[in-house]
Amino acid sequence: MVTTPDTRTAPRSARRLGGGRGRRSGRRRYGDLPIALTFLLPAVIAAVVLRLWPTARAVWDSLRSTPLGVEPTRWVGLDQFRWLIDDPAFLNSLKVTLLFGIIVNPLQIAVALVLAVIFNERIRGAGLMRTLVFLPVAIPQSVSAVIWAVAFRPDGPLNGILDRLGIAPQGFLTSPGQALPSIILVVSWIGVGYWMMFLIAGLKEIDPTLYEAAGLDGAGRWARFRHVTVPQLRRQLAFVLVADTISNLLVFAPVQILTNGGPNGRTNLIMNDVFERAYTQVDVGAASAATVVVVVIALAIVLVQFRLLSRGSD
């Protein structure tokens, strides 16, 4: 830990006076470093030991190859990535993941926002209702997959309902065109209530007087939503945007159980591909390389999002 010689002599309040975020002036070199480290260290150690170090291992492994997934390994360097990029299955999984991400993220955030606004109203039983909407995330994903495997059966309840409405039966998971939308439905059923909860927490923070003021200005429902709710909710929306995008990039359990990437690779999301390389084929090198690709993509997404968000906040 770094020692700061200065802090003990200075009056405590003086140290911090005028030290609001972004407006610091005349601060000493190390600032609040010692105290900051005591706050930070447990989390940083956890992040480094439990996440970054094993990832460093994965980067190392990605440059080596072993046909059977065990020692001894041999150096192959970037050839590993070349083999990966040459693999049509991997390329396909990138494409599917991109398509999935473009649809599922805006969809989930929009639906979560609408639900948050509805369940934030002072209506009877709102608490129970939003708890029910949240619940799907609480059961094991393997069970969610079982439930939807039954629901999507060609002779199952969903087609039963369509039949009552006079609509012809659909293929759902068996149809190359409908499988990905079906997966999107399942992961949204699981996730939307979860993200909604964060947005409701944000809505609760909005000062009601802002709505009163907007109302006095004659703003309608939509105008109030547009000019009060959305800007006031910016922080929570930013969190949901980033966290939801990353979570969706890492989805695989429902895919693995419901379609195993099929039909014809149409639902082979990238993490399903990684999982199969790592745990089924035990191709440690290729699995690590694919993991590195996933992390790089995630990093790129988050950097772009942070840039957009910081620009939007000016």
Partner 1 sequence: MSARTFGRLSGKLVMRRDRAPAKFRGRRFALVAASVTVLVAAGCGGSDDDGSSGGTTTLTFVNAQDPGTFDKVIASFEAANPTIKIKQQAVPFDDLNTTVQSRLGSKDPSIDLYDVDEPRLAAFAARGFLEPLDDLRQQAEGKIDPNALKITTYNDKQYAMPRWTSSQLLYFNKDLLAKAKVPAPSSDPASPMTWEDVTAAAKKAQAAGAKNGLIWDQVDRYYQLQPLAESAGGGPGLKGDKLLEADVTNAGWTRAFTWYHSVFQEGVAPRGINPEQTPSLFANGETAFFAGGPWNSAAFDKDKTVDYGVAPAPAFAGGRPATSTDSWSTGISPFSKHKDAAKKFISYMTIDPTGATETTSNNIPVQKDAFRTYLDTLSAKGERYKQMADIIEYALANTSVSRPVTVGYVDVESTMNKAFADIRNGTAAPDRLAQANDEINRALEKYSR
Partner 2 sequence: MVLLGTLIAAAFVLPLWWTVASALRPQRETFATISPVSLWTLVPRDLTLGNFTRLFDTDFAQAMLNSAIVTLGTLIGGLAICAAAAFALAVLQFPGRAVFFAVMVVSFLIPFDAIAIPLMSIFRGAGLENSYLALILPGIGNGFAVFLLRGFFLGIPSELTEAARMDGLGWWGVFWRIYLPLSRPALIGAGLILFVFQWQAYLWPLLIAPDPEMKVAPVAIAQFAGQQGVDFGAIFAGATMTLLVPLLVLLFFQRYFTQSVSASGVKG
Q: Please tell me whether residue 209 binds partner 1 under the rule CB under 8 A.
A: yes
Listed ranges 39-47, 74-82, 175-183, 223-231: which one lies at the site for partner 2 (CB under 8 A): 39-47
Considering the complex, what minimum distance in angstroms separates the CB of residue 260 from partner 1? 6
Site string for partner 2, 247-286 (x = CB under 8 A): ---x-xx-----------------x--xx--x-----x--
Considering the complex, what minimum distance in angstroms separates the CB of residue 54 from partner 1? 12
Q: Do 73 and 65 form a contact (C-beta atoms < 8 A)?
A: yes
Q: Do 105 and 245 form a contact (C-beta atoms < 8 A)?
A: yes
Task: Name which of 174 and 247 has its Cβ closer to partner 1.
Answer: 174
Burial class of 5 by CB neighbour count within 10 A (0 to 12, 13 to 18, 19+): exposed
Q: Please tell me whether residue 207 binds partner 1 under the rule CB under 8 A.
A: yes
Phi, psi for residue 264 in degrees, rounded to 5: 55, 40
What would the DSSP string read from start to end of 152-179?
TSTTSHHHHHHHHTTPPP--GGGSTTTH
d(CA 222, CA 210): 14
Listed ranges 185-193, 240-248, 276-284, 292-300: which one lies at the site for partner 1 (CB under 8 A): 276-284
Burial class of 301 by CB neighbour count within 10 A (0 to 12, 13 to 18, 19+): middle
Q: Please tell me whether residue 42 binds partner 2 under the rule CB under 8 A.
A: yes
Candidates 10, 48, 85, 213: give the one binding partner 2 (CB under 8 A). Answer: 48
Q: Do 310 and 77 form a contact (C-beta atoms < 8 A)?
A: no
Considering the complex, what minimum distance in angstroms separates the CB of residue 283 from partner 1? 6
Site string for partner 2, 147-186 (x = CB under 8 A): xx-xx-x-xxx-xxx-xx----------------------
Identify what 173 binds: partner 1, partner 2, none; CB under 5 to 8 Å per kind: partner 1
Identify what 263 binds: partner 1, partner 2, none; CB under 5 to 8 Å per kind: partner 1
Site string for partner 2, 200-219 (x = CB under 8 A): xx--xxxxx-----------
Identify what 172 binds: partner 2, partner 1, none; CB under 5 to 8 Å per kind: partner 1
d(CA 292, CA 59): 6
Identify what 118 binds: partner 1, partner 2, none; CB under 5 to 8 Å per kind: partner 2
Place of tokens 């944000």: 202
Q: Please tell me whether residue 44 binds partner 2 under the rule CB under 8 A.
A: yes
Where b means 16+ CB within 10 Å and e means fewer, 85-106 reads: eeeeebebbbebbeebbeebbe
Q: DSSP 3-state assignment of 21?
A: coil
Q: Helices (H) and strands (E) in the chain — how many of each?
A: 16, 2
Identify what 121 binds: partner 1, partner 2, none; CB under 5 to 8 Å per kind: partner 2
Rg (CA), the chain: 25
Considering the complex, what minimum distance in angstroms separates the CB of residue 33 from partner 1? 18
Question: Which residues in this chain contact partner 1 in the complex, by CB under 8 A?
Answer: 65, 67-70, 87, 89, 146, 149-150, 152-155, 171-175, 207, 209, 260-264, 276, 279-284, 286
